Amino acid sequence: MDTTTTTTDVALRIYGASDDLIELEGQIVEEFNVFLGDEPVLLGMSDGTLLRVVRPHGVWRFTEIRRGPRTMLFIDQCPEDHETRYSDEVYLTGAQISWVLCGTHLAKAKRQAATS
């Protein structure tokens, strides 16, 4: 986390634990039990933020797909070869998060061809 943000500013901290848990701490305290096969897990939040979660080589990786309009998001990436740490840590600030959805499927609208 950057030096200008304190832990009291964090709306939500997200990280992977063990080999099958995604942990939430902050405005929401929850533990999602997930099985990561070939499909990534998606975390959608009430502010519009969407994260992609994978666990290659035993390290939890979080990637921003979309950020809510008032949300500041910081991902503290875990080094691949760290001795004791095995997860990126995501910090969301500046938003009021009222729910988080954890799932594996995302449907998107098809792009429309431009008409003249």
Residue extents of the structural domains in the chain: 7-103
35 close to 50: Cβ distance less than 8 angstroms? no
Segment 83-109, tens digit of pLDDT: 888 999 999 999 899 999 999 877 878
28 alpha-carbon distance from chain centroid: 13
pTM for this one? 0.83
Task: pLDDT band for 3, please (50, 70, 90 cuts).
Answer: very low
87 close to 7: Cβ distance less than 8 angstroms? no
Task: pLDDT band for 112, please (50, 70, 90 cuts).
Answer: confident
